[in-house]
Amino acid sequence: MRPILALLLICACTPVEAPDEPPDEPTPPPVEAPAHLLPLIAACETAPTLPEGTGYDGLISDSHVHMTVDDDPLDYALALLDEMNASGVDRVVVQADHFLSHANAATLDEDWAEFVTWCPRLLWLVGGFDPEDEGSVPYVLARLDEAPVAGIGELNIEHGAGITVDPDSPALQTLYGELEERGLSVHLQAVNTGTPNWLAMEAQAEAHPDLGIAWFGCSGLFFDEGSLPNVGCTLFPMTPTGMPTDSATLERHVGRGILGTDSAPTGFTNPAAQGLPYDDLAGGIAAARAYLGALNVSEEAREGFARGNFDRIWADRR
C-alpha cells in the first residue's frame, strides 16, 4: 500500500474526538422578595375585578396618579393596588407631588425603585427636576439608571397656577436626549393652548421623535392628524371641560388619547388637583368608564383610549 493512501485511510478511520463542552453556567439562586414587600407583591399579582353596568367594562390604565412626600410610600402603594384591583385598573403611572426639590424627591424615589422592581403594574416617574438647580439633572440621570422607572414627571411647562418651566432650557435639553436614548417618557403639563411655551414644547416633541410624551392639556386640540406620533394627549375625566366628546375628532385620533385621572387612592390626596368631581382614583375611574361607554366611537378607539395607547407611550418603552 502506498504510504500516502495508508495515511489517508488512517485519517479517515480514526474518530475525531469532540472538543470538551464548556461547563454549564451555574444557575443563580432565586432572589427572595423582601418580607416587607410580600403584601405588595400579593396585591400586584391579584387580577383586577371588572365592574359591570358602569359604561365601559374593560381594563383601564391610568397615566396620571399623584402622591405627596408626606405619604408613607408602602401604605400608599398598598392602598393604590387595592383600589386598582377593585376598579378594574391594570396599570398606573405614579408621580410625586408637583414642585418637589430633588432632595425631597429622593425619599420617594428610593422606595419606589424597590416597588416597581417587584410590581410591573406600577410605573414610577422620577421627580425633583428643577432647571434652576444644577444638582437636579445629575440626580435625575442617576435615578433613571438605578431602577426600571418609566421616565420623569410631572413636568410643569405651564400649570394652571401660572408656574412655568422653559421647555427650551439647557437642563431640559439634556434630559430630553437622555430619556430618548433610554427609550423613556416624560409626563408634562401645558394647559394654556397656543402660548409661547406650548408652541416651544410642540417643537421639542417634533425634534425628539423617540421621546414618549404624555401631554396633560392637549386633549382639546390633539395636534394635526398624523403629526407627533410620540405624543399621547391625556383624556381627563372631569366634566364638562376635561373630556372631548366630538366623535369625528376622537375617531381621527384613535392612537392619541390616554386616560389620566390626576387622582390618588382613597385616604390620600393630590393637593395640586382642585375642583375635581371625584375624590379618589376609584371615583376618577368610574367617571372614565361612564365617559368611555357614552362615546360614539369604534371599539378600536374606545379600547385604545382605555389602555391600548398607554402601551405606546409608557409600557412598550420600558
Average pLDDT over residues 147-158: 86
Unique residue bearing C-alpha cell 386616560: 259
29 in any annotated domain: no
Closest to 235 in 3D by CA, of 261, 253, 210 = 261
The predicted-structure confidence for 89-111, as pLDDT tens digits, reads as follows 999 999 987 656 666 778 888 89
148 in any annotated domain: yes
Joined grid coordinates for residue 102: 430633588
The predicted-structure confidence for 29-86, as pLDDT tens digits, reads as follows 567 889 999 999 999 999 999 988 888 999 999 999 998 888 899 999 999 999 999 9
Alpha-carbon distance of 143 to 96, in angstroms, equals: 14
pLDDT score, position 238: 63
Joined grid coordinates for residue 217: 392639556
pTM equals 0.86
Alpha-carbon distance of 315 to 318, in angstroms, equals: 6
26 in any annotated domain: no
48 in any annotated domain: no
Burial zone of 311 (CB within 10 Å; 0-12 exposed, 13-18 middle, 19+ buried): middle
Burial zone of 287 (CB within 10 Å; 0-12 exposed, 13-18 middle, 19+ buried): buried
- For residue 8, pLDDT over 50 is answered with no
Alpha-carbon distance of 201 to 132, in angstroms, equals: 18
Alpha carbon 232 to its chain centroid, in Å, reads 11
The predicted-structure confidence for 10-23, as pLDDT tens digits, reads as follows 444 444 455 555 55
Q: Cite the DSSP H helix spans in 70-130.
A: 73-87, 102-118
Q: Sheet harboring 89-96: ordered strands across?
A: 60-67, 89-96, 122-126, 151-158, 185-190, 212-216, 231-235, 257-259
CATH number of the domain bearing residue 203:
3.20.20.140
60 in any annotated domain: no
The predicted-structure confidence for 154-212, as pLDDT tens digits, reads as follows 888 877 655 678 888 888 889 999 999 999 999 988 877 778 888 888 899 999 999 99
9 in any annotated domain: no
The number of distinct structural domains making up the chain is 1
pLDDT band for 128, please (50, 70, 90 cuts). confident
pLDDT score, position 7: 40
